[in-house]
Amino acid sequence: MPGCLAGLATPPPAALHLLLRGRSRMAFSAAAPSRAFQLRLNPLTGDSEWLVVDEEGEEGAAPPQTQRQLLAATSYLDMLNDAARNRAYRCAIDAAVSDPSARVLDIGAGTGLLSMMSARALGAVGGEGRGSVSVCESYLPMGKLTRKVLRANRMENKVKLFHKRSDELEVGVELDSPADVLVSEILDSELLGEGLIPTLQQAHDSLLVKNPKTVPYRATTYGQLVESPFLWKMHDLHSNEANAADGVWLTPDGMENIVSVKLQQHAMQCDPLEDEIRLLSEPFKVFEFDFSERPESQRENKITIKTTGDGCVHAIISWWVLQLDSAGSIFYSTAPKWVRQSSIKDLPQCTDDTKDWCDHWKHCVWFTQGRGAPVMKDQTLSLRASHNLTSISYQLLNPNDEACNGNLKADHLTLLPERIALYGDICWRSALITAIKSALSDRSPQTCIVADDSIFLALLVSSLSPSSKVIAMFPGLRDKGATYLQAVAKANNFSMDQIQVIGKRAASLSTDDLEHKKINLLVGEPFYCGSEGMLPWQNLRFWNARTLFHSMLSEDALIMPCKGVLKLCAMSLPDLWKSRRSLKDVEGFDHSVVNETLGACGDLPGEQQGPCLPYYVWQCGYTKKLSKVYSLMDFNFSEPIHSCFGKTKIEFADAGMCHGFAVWIDWVLDEKNSIVISTGPDSRYWKQGVQLLSKPVEVNPAESAALVEASFDPASGDITFNSSFS
C-alpha cells in the first residue's frame, strides 16, 4: 500500500493497513463510544500527539480533512479497482453461500463490498429473513463510510455492522449464533502481516461453527531464487562501500553485518526488474494455510531446491496464490509477471493471468546476507522456511546444514534496503564527501551538529575534522546510534571523545548541550528514521531544525545542504491513475459515495483532485516522462523556515496522455550549486510525490502547456498543488 501522507504517523505499511481493517487496535474512550484516538505525527518536528476523532454529526458531511487524507493514503481504492480480485471473490461467495439459513461473518468491512456480495448471494437462495450477514469494522471513519455505501445500495437492513474488532465480538451478544461462513480479506503482500493467523485462531475458537465454509478457502505462498545486481546493492553494503574506496567505513572489516538490511520480507514491485533478474530456480511451494481450520502459530518447513543455473543467490522473491473456493476452480495470484506468463506445471491457473497492475499487493523480497550464496546449475540446496504469527522468514542452508545467513550481533543497525543501497552508492557518497571537504577547507569548526539520523555524516565529519566537537542528534537512532559509532570509531580514525550523541529532537537541544558554544557547521543528508514512507518534503524537518538552532548558530555558520529545490515533471501514469480512478459500479454495487473520501481521480465535482501521495515512480507500472524537469519552489536554509509559493509553466516535450506530475526535492549541498543530490524518479532509492490529475489530459509539444502552482505551509509541513492546462 502507499505510504502515509503528510502529518500522519508512519507505521509500517502492513501495520497501517491493519489499523484500518477489522482488527484495528485503535484506542477508544469508554465514556464516549463515538470517539477514537488517532496518532498524528508532525513531519517537521517529529513530535506525536493523540487527536480525538469525533464521528458524531451529520451523516452526509465529509469526514474531517485529517481522516480524509488518512483514508486516501490506504489501499482501499486500489483494491476496489482490482477487477480480477473483485470478480474472484464474487464467484467464490456465490458458491459458498448456498444455504438459505447461512450465517455469514465478514471480518474487516472496508466499504462493505464482500458483505453486500454475501447478502445478495443469501437472497438469491431464498435466505432473506432466515440467514444473516454480520461484519465488523473498528475504525470509525471507515465504518461511517461503510454505512454510507450500505445505504446507497439499500443494504443497511441486510448487513449488521459492528464498530468493533473481531476479537471483541461475542456469540450471544453481537452474533445470534456461531457463523458457518467466514468471508475475509485480511491479507498483505507477505500474506500474514495484517494478522491473518491470530484473526483466524480467535474466529475458530469463538465465532465459527466446526468445519465452516470460508472465502478464501486456502492460501499458498511460493518463492523463487534469483540473482540481481540491483537487489544485491540493496543488502550488501560492505562490498559496495569497499568498491567506493573513499575511506569512510560504515561496515569495517570484521564488522560486515553491523549495518544491515532488516531481516524481513520487503514488499516491492518486481515486474520492472524482470530484465535485471536472473532466475536460479523454478518456483517452489513454501507454506499452505487452510482458512477452514484453526492455523498453527508457527511452523517450520525444510525445502529442497534444485538450481537451474550458475550464479549467486541474492534474494528470494515470494508471492501467494489464493484458492477462493473449496472446489479449486477460482484462484487469484500475486505472482510476478514472468511466473504468470510461464507454463510451469503444478502452479494453479488463475481466473485472470493478465490482471491489471495493482499496488495493494506487491511481491516480497527476502535478501540473503552478505555477498549472497554462490550456486552451480543442478546443485541441490536446502532452504529452511519458518513463520510466526505475522511473518515468514528464510534461511538458506549449505550442504552441511549450516546457515549461510550468519548471525547478527545484538548491537547492529538495521535499515531499509533503499537506505543500504544509497549508503553504498559511489556517486552519493562522493557528493557528500566533496561537499564536507570543501566546507572544512577554509575553516576548522569547533562545534558541528549532525541534525538528522545520518551515520554517514557523523562518521565523515568526525574523521575529517579531529579538532571539532561533533554532536549527532540521532532523533531516531538514539542509543543505538551511539553504540554503533563507538564500535566503528577506531576503523574511521576518530576518538569518541570528540563526538557526542544527544538522541534528542531539535526542539530539546539547549545551550548546555553545546557547552554554551556556537554551532559552526550544521549538516544533514537529510534522513530521519521512521520517515522513509513519507513524501519527499517531509525531510524539510532539517529546515525546521535549522530554525530552532537559529540563536545558537555562529555568524559565519555553514549549513549543508544549503537549500532544497522542489522539482516536478509531467508524466503519463496510466496504470497508477487507473488504480485510483473513481468508483461507480463494483460487481453490481454503487461505490460512488466513497470517491471523495478515498481521493479518487476522475468524475469528481469541478476540478477537485486527490492528495499528493508517495510512490516509487519506477514501480508504478507503465510510466513515461512528457516534459523536462522544472523547478517549482526553493527552500533557502540560510533563512528561518517560512511559507513559500512557486509556479512554473510546463511545456511538453512528448505527446501522450498526462495523468499527473511526479514531484521531489533536489538537495543543493554547496553555495555554488555545483553539488546536488536528486531524489527524483531516476534515483530508484527515493519515493517521489505523485499528484494525479482529476482527469487525464492529452498533450503534445506543439499545442499544450500547463501552469502548476504550489504553496508550502510551515505550520503543517504540507505542500498543496494546483494545475491548469491550455
**What is the pLDDT confidence band of residue 607, given thresholds at 50, 70 and 90?**
low
Residues 6+ apart with CB under 8 A from 263: 393, 405, 408, 414
Mean pLDDT of the 321-331 span? 96
Instruction: Check whether 20 has a pLDDT greater than 70.
Output: no
pLDDT for residue 67: 66
653 and 628 Cβ atoms separated by less than 8 Å: yes
- Cβ neighbours around 694 below 10 Å, total: 19
SS3 of 342-409:
CCCCCCCCCCCCCCCCCCCCCEEEEECCCCCEEECCCCEEEEEEEECCCCEEEEEECCCCCECCCCCC
As given in the structure block, the three cell numbers for residue 507 are 526542539
- Give the chain's length: 726
Residue 87 binned pLDDT confidence (cut-offs 50, 70, 90) = very high
Average pLDDT over residues 270-289: 97
What is the spatial distance between Cα 86 and Cα 90, in angstroms, rounded to a whole number? 6
Q: 425-560: same fold as 77-215?
A: yes
Pick the catalytic residue from 185, 241, 525, 532: 185
Query: 425-560: which CATH topology?
Result: Rossmann fold (3.40.50)
Average pLDDT over residues 562-567: 98
Query: What is the percentage of the chain residues whose pLDDT exceeds 90?
Result: 77
Average pLDDT, the chain: 89
What does the alpha-carbon distance between residue 463 and residue 467 come to, in Å, rounded to a whole number? 10
pLDDT tier at 527, thresholds 50, 70, 90: very high
Q: Could you confirm whether 185 is annotated as catalytic?
A: yes
pLDDT (mean) for 617-636: 97
pLDDT at position 509 over 60: yes
- Does the pLDDT of residue 303 top 90, yes or no? yes
Active site residue: 194, 227, 241, 525, which one?
194
pLDDT at 316 > cutoff 80: yes
pLDDT confidence bin for 7, thresholds 50/70/90: very low
Q: What is the CATH number of domain 77-215?
A: 3.40.50.150
- Mean local confidence (pLDDT), 674-700: 95
C-alpha cell, 276: 535485471
Per residue in 22-75, pLDDT (tens digit) is 333 333 333 334 556 666 677 888 877 666 665 554 444 444 566 677 788 888
Give me the mean pLDDT over the 286-315 stretch. 97
Asked if CATH classification 3.90.700.10 holds for the domain at 563-725, the reply, yes or no, is no
pLDDT digits (tens, 9 = 90+) for 425-434: 999 999 999 9
State yes or no: is 709 an active-site residue.
no
The domains of the chain are located at 77-215, 219-403, 425-560, 563-725
Residue 538 predicted with pLDDT over 60:
yes
pLDDT at 306 (0 to 100): 97
Give the model's pLDDT for residue 60: 44
pLDDT range class, residue 351, cuts 50, 70, 90: low
CATH code for 219-403? 2.70.160.11
Residue 467 has pLDDT above 80, yes or no: yes
Burial 234-270 (b: 16+ CB within 10 A, else e): bbbbbbbbeebeeebbbbbeebbbbbbbbbbbbbbbb
Give pLDDT, residue 62: 45
DSSP state of 16: H
pLDDT computed for residue 118 by the predictor: 97
